[in-house]
Amino acid sequence: MTAPIRVWAPHASSVECRLGAGDDATLASMSRGDDGWWTGPAVPAGTDYAFVVDGSGPFPDPRSPWQPAGVHGPSRTFDARSYAWNDAGWRGREALGAVQYELHIGTFTPRGTLDAIDERQLADLARRGVEMIELMPVAAFPGERGWGYDGVSLYAVHAPYGGPAALQRLVDRAHAHGLAVCLDVVYNHLGPDGNYLAQFGPYFTDAHETPWGWAVNLDQPEAAGMRAFIVDNALRWFEDFHVDALRLDAVHALVDDSDRHILAELSDRTAELSARLGRPLSLIAESDLNDVRMVTPTADGGLGMDAQWADDVHHALHAYLTGETHGYYCDFGSIEALDKVYREVFVHDGSYSTFRGEDWGAPVPPDLDRRRFVVFASNHDQVGNRAIGDRPASRLTAGGQAASLALVLLSPFTPMLFMGEEHGETRPFMFFTDHDEPLGSAVSEGRMSEFAGHGWEQLYGGHVDVPDPQDRRTFLRSKLGAGVAATTGTNERIVAWLADIMEVRTRTLDPAAWERHPAGASEQQPRQLTMHGPVAVHANLSGSPMAVPAGEVLATFGNVASGPEGISLAPDAVALVARAG
């Protein structure tokens, strides 16, 4: 199959297409259309090409589907429609309420590729109760290893992961095991190395600032180019790669003062595509605004996201379990904060945020479906952005880990696990990069200085050597350990406990059950915790016995005794108890 090569360059006087690579490359002229799009020759799939814009270049295609020679090399055409899919029977899965599982492709397996995530692993995740895997970004980024949030070829699939065909194969395999696939996408910025978009048109604007510099152009003259770039990209993952959901990174940095926010536009276009394809397509936002408008339908004046990550729930849970109250945890850690997030989602719902130094957020209506909020005890940010990338499992007792899993998976929200959490992984997940110089050294130095004076020595009880993100050993140390074959006593107990939780979880899926037994959290004594709901989670994190009223005990972790007069939990024990009615 052949298709014409096209590129949007509205201000260019001339655009040429460089076909092939090396000494055999040839230049082909392109014709300009009235809409700023240039059209070149039709070429078959697998053709290398690049663009020369007003005599400068060659530059890779902004919409390149494949960068086999890296982000600075030529693009390669790819026929996404040529794959013979085997998922005709797949009817899709909504993100709301689905047990999600975040993974990083490079560290999930020893080989670190899409094809290395094999049938055995997918079957194991499905057997454990996972319903949707969330892939950290696959868009092409500099070097071989990294988190992917500095991607620069947003239409391409990172070549070291296996390229675009490998992503199609993984999604197909996942669907065969009943697993939906969510893809993490980054539209708020592009990385600094290999970003050639500005060579083609007004993709960026200095009218707004973001933590990464200039903002993407969503509301200034000729913003239609960037808006189409984002929307077309999202719809392509849904249609050509059969992805079921997108997680949109840091949408609060998508500064858009136009009459119609880019997220609302994307929501409406996704709904149209969902109706045409006949399967649910979900949009999940990462937002720190604590604003329910994010998950309010566009017809009601909202931005139309199906769900959003709820960091306040994480912060309240993490600070309570670990006792850490430094940095952005400073307003968390109390039972009152934990109770509030289970009842009202946000701690900061118009109240003063000490970390931000201002009032923050707005209340969540009590009748809003709590499944619209994705909650977790760990994720790539909350683990990888610690000084040494240590997981909570490396610091919590076995009972603390057991409590953490139950408090997430039996909550009224949409739960998410971070890879390895299902078996109590204690290996770190650290920040790692593979930049060329001088950017590589700048990243390393910046990482070291970022953590200087942040109180990590006090937290860790001594001097902290922050891992060098450019050191390949940092990446290798972040790979999962024994995984499903973990054989330590604690690993085995966590694996068995997760199975118990998943069996009990069915009692929490009826919305009416939450009306009869509203969510909340309380303490009988300090560190003797109960999460209320259709299933009560009693966790004794204290050093003294904990007594709770008698009830139907569904599962236990640790030493728990039950009788007609009540239930007794030894220290570091957890009990799941059915609520009557």
Supply the residues annotated as catalytic: 249, 286
Per-position DSSP letters for 186-220, written without gaps between them = --S---SSS--GGGTS--EEEEEEETTEEEE-SSS
Angle at alpha carbon of residue 442, lines to 437 and 444, rounded to 5°: 100
Residues whose CB falls within 8 Å of the CB of residue 554, separated by 6 or more in sequence, listed in order: 500, 504, 507, 535, 576, 577, 578
Q: How far is CA 263 from CA 251, 288, 304, 325, 385, in A?
A: 8, 15, 7, 33, 27
Angle at alpha carbon of residue 403, lines to 400 and 408, rounded to 5°: 130
- What gap in Å lies between CA 423 and CA 406, rounded to an integer? 14
- What gap in Å lies between CA 436 and CA 70, rounded to an integer? 12
β strands within 299-385, DSSP E: 307-309, 351-353, 358-360, 373-375
Both tokens of 321, joined, read 């379990």
Both tokens of 374, joined, read 């994705």
Distance of CA 576 to the CA centre of its chain: 29
Cβ atoms < 10 Å from Cβ of 355: 15
CB 203, CB 227: distance < 8 Å: no
Amino acid in the structure at residue 39: T
- Count Cβ neighbours within 10 Å for each residue of 402-431 and write b for 16 or more, e otherwise: bbbbbbbbbbbbbbbbbbbbbbbbbbbbbb
Q: What are phi and psi of 162, to 5 degrees?
A: 125, -5
Q: How far is CA 10 from CA 216, 227, 435, in A?
A: 17, 15, 31
Cβ atoms < 10 Å from Cβ of 232: 12
Both tokens of 472, joined, read 């390949």
DSSP class of residue 579 equals: P
Cβ atoms < 10 Å from Cβ of 563: 8
Half-sphere exposure of 200 (CA within 13 A, CB side): 24
Strand, helix or coil for residue 47: coil
Angle at alpha carbon of residue 238, lines to 234 and 243, rounded to 5°: 115
